[in-house]
Amino acid sequence: MTREILKVKDLATHYTGFGGSRVVKAVDEVSFSLEEGQTIGIVGESGCGKTTLCLSLVRLLAPGAQIVGGSIELNGRDILKLSQKEMVEVRGKEIAMILQDPMTSLNPVINIETQVGEAAFKHRGLRSSTLRERVRQLLEAVRIPSPDVRMQEFPHQMSGGMRQRIAGAVALSGEPGIIIADEPTTSLDVTIQAQYLDLLRRLQKDTGVGLIFVTHDLGIVAKMCDDVIVMYAGKTVEKGSVREIFNNPNHPYTSALIRSVPKLGSKDPLYRIEGQPPDLSNLPQGCSFASRCAIADDHCFEHEPPLIEVGPRRLAACWKIEENAASKEQA
């Protein structure tokens, strides 16, 4: 049996502003677990809480954000009970995150060698020539050309795609058991993107690292992930294995996301989900997707659907799962 390395239960993270009068419920009772060697994808529209969820897992939230409920068990201990000082020992060694915007994670005044080598130095005890060799290997692994030259340079001397890959090398440096990658390939061209994804997969095969992958690209989810969590307005609306969810989505929002993927060679107009997600500081009563859902009725607008088990290891939050299945068959 594979070992469970992360267990998140009913996690809730809010941003509070304007003296506490406005509360943004960015993550609302999210639960999932990750096993050794497993890859979980997190998908959902912009602003649905993906980054906030990931930042909560490494406890690197912005000022004004607070974890207000739930637990995060990493290798069997609740990291919400650790001090920030203790978290410094955990980050990079047990869990590392590749931030969505690498410029915010890379320090502009420290050279690449020192930044990439930091976790290997701190958590794996590498020194002098062994450390330098490790940095070189990591830069080669993420396809940075002329690594010996580049390691003496600074982030502003790199292209956006290079910075993104260097942020990947920084995360790999301490050989963590879990890597969270928040949109790690957005500024990479397709060839480099494919190489980068292959690197992560190879690494996973060799080391059993658990991956959490945040992406807008359902093609990447299909290629990389075992399970997927679909988020909408801070909540999980559907969860299950990638194969089952792609073949038979239960939630109308998941169906709409899948329909929005452009089909190669198709001249049909692109499908887009009409309307906007709700304001997370002023959520409507009932189902948060109701104003955009083609099969919503009065009950949906009044009552929030609970996240329930709809099959083995499958969850969905919708009052009309059967009706959605029927409308898919007719489409």
Ligand X SMILES: Nc1ncnc2c1ncn2[C@@H]1O[C@H](COP(=O)(O)OP(=O)(O)OP(=O)(O)O)[C@@H](O)[C@H]1O
Tokens for 220, please give them.
């990447």
Pick 99 or 256: Cβ nearer ligand SF4:
256
Alpha-carbon gap, residue 329 to 331, rounded angstroms: 6
By CB under 6 A, tell whether 300 contacts ligand SF4: yes
Strand order in the sheet with 77-78: 22-35, 4-17, 65-74, 77-78
| Residue with smaller CB distance to ligand X, 14 or 136 | 14
Residue 231 CB, nearest approach to ligand SF4 (Å): 14
Q: How far is the CB of 111 from ligand SF4 (least distance, A)?
A: 50
The DSSP letter of residue 15 is E
**Dihedral pair phi/psi, residue 126, rounded to 5°:** -80, 145
Residue by residue, DSSP assigns 24-47 as EEEEEEEEEEEETT-EEEEE--TT
Q: Min. distance of Cβ 314 from Mg ion in angstroms? A: 25
- Alpha-carbon distance of 122 to 143, in angstroms, equals 24
Least distance CB 287 / Mg ion (angstroms): 23
CB of 316 to ligand SF4, least distance (A): 9
- For the record, the structure tokens of 125 come out as 């005890």
Give me the helices (H) in 269-313, please. Answer: 298-302
Ramachandran region, residue 260 (left: φ > 0; alpha: ψ -120 to 50; beta: rest): alpha
Cα separation, 105 vs 79, in Å, equals 21
Say if CB 177 and CB 36 are below 8 A apart. Answer: yes
Tokens of 323: 């009706």
Contact of 235 with 288, CB cutoff 8 Å: yes
> One symbol per residue from 77 to 116: x for binding Mg ion (CB under 5 A), - otherwise; what is it?
-----------------------x----------------
Q: In the complex, which residues of this chain contact ligand X (CB under 6 A)?
A: 15, 24, 26, 44, 46-52, 62, 64, 100, 280
Rounded to a whole number of angstroms, the minimum distance from the CB of residue 101 to ligand X is 9
Q: Is 252 in the site for ligand SF4 (CB under 6 A)?
A: yes
Question: Quick check: 114 and 169 in contact, CB under 8 A?
Answer: no
Number of residues that bind Mg ion (CB under 5 A): 3
Residue 15 vs 289, nearer CB to ligand SF4: 289
Is residue 51 near Mg ion by the rule CB under 5 A?
A: yes
Contacts to ligand SF4 from residues 303-322, by CB under 6 A: 305, 318-320
Strand bridging mode 235-241 / 308-311: unpaired
- Name residues contacting ligand SF4, limited to 186-245 (CB under 6 A): none
The entry of ligand X, ligand SF4, Mg ion, none near residue 196 (CB within 5 to 8 angstroms by kind) is none
Tell me the window of 29-37, 156-164, 195-203, 292-300 that interacts with ligand SF4 (CB under 6 A): 292-300
CB 56 within 8 A of CB 21: no
* 176 scored as a contact of ligand SF4 (CB under 6 A): no
User: Residue 166 or 293: which CB sits closer to ligand SF4?
Assistant: 293
Nearer to ligand X, 15 or 32 (CB): 15
Contacting positions for ligand SF4 (CB under 6 A): 251-252, 287, 289-290, 293, 295-296, 300, 305, 318-320
Contacting positions for Mg ion (CB under 5 A): 50-51, 100
